[in-house]
């Protein structure tokens, strides 16, 4: 259920990446909820005469439409594709197959154009992850250096050994 609620919390977040597990757990839980709503509507006699769902099914479908598209776009980002690739599903059969293959494909390891991999980020060796000592913050210039904020200004570039170097900002 955490996967479903996580997608709902990121209601219209199209940026970033989504793992296969996040996407397919959302699809599974969404299908189970839809089936449950359909059973309750059928038992209550709320279904339409043409065999379609009832009003609650329609409202639920509208509620999960945007998060469903958003998680699909993030899933495509995880495989290195643009979210616009989702429009291929408008092409009958061939488009559905292409989109399905893209949604089933494994994540691109490492960083791609849409950010770091949520799957492989935790698998990086500890030596590769730079952890700042207490009191240290990442460099606000995004130059991947650690700088110390003393409350009034950023310190000069400080090496891992603790010695001050040249300040790249001059």
Task: Report the pLDDT value the prediction gives residue 163, as an integer from 0 to 100.
Answer: 45
Partners of 147 in the β-ladder: 137
Task: Report the pLDDT value the prediction gives residue 37, as an integer from 0 to 100.
Answer: 94
Region 15-25: mean pLDDT is 92
Task: Report the pLDDT value the prediction gives residue 154, as an integer from 0 to 100.
Answer: 62
Task: Report the pLDDT value the prediction gives residue 63, as an integer from 0 to 100.
Answer: 95
156 or 31, greater pLDDT: 31
Three-state DSSP string of the chain: CHHHHHHHHCCCCCCCCCCHHHHHHHHHHHHHHHHHHHHHHHHHCCCCCCCCCCHHHHHHHHHHHHHHHHHHHHHHHHCCCCHHHHHHHHCCCHHHHHHHHHHHCCCCCCEECCEECCCCCCCCCCCCCCCCCCCEEECCCCCCCEEEECCCCECCCECCCCCECCCCCC
Q: How confident is the model at residue 135 (pLDDT cuts 50, 70, 90)?
A: low
Averaged pLDDT of the chain = 80
């Amino acid at each position: 259920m955490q996967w479903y609620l996580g997608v709902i919390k990121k209601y219209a977040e199209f940026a970033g990446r989504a793992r296969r597990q996040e996407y397919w757990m959302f699809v599974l839980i969404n299908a189970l909820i839809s089936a449950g709503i359909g059973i309750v509507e059928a038992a209550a006699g709320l279904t339409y005469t043409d065999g379609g769902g009832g009003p609650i099914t329609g409202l639920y479908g509208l509620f999960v439409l945007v998060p469903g598209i958003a998680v699909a776009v993030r899933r495509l980002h995880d495989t290195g594709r643009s979210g616009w690739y989702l429009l291929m599903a408008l092409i009958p059969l061939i488009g559905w197959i292409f989109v399905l293959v893209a949604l089933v494909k494994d994540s691109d390891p490492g960083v791609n154009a849409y950010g770091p991999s949520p799957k492989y980020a935790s698998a990086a060796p500890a030596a590769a992850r730079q952890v700042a000592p207490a009191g240290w913050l990442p460099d606000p210039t995004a130059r991947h250096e650690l700088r110390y904020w003393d409350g009034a200004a950023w310190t000069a570039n400080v090496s891992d050994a603790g010695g001050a170097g040249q300040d790249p900002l001059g």
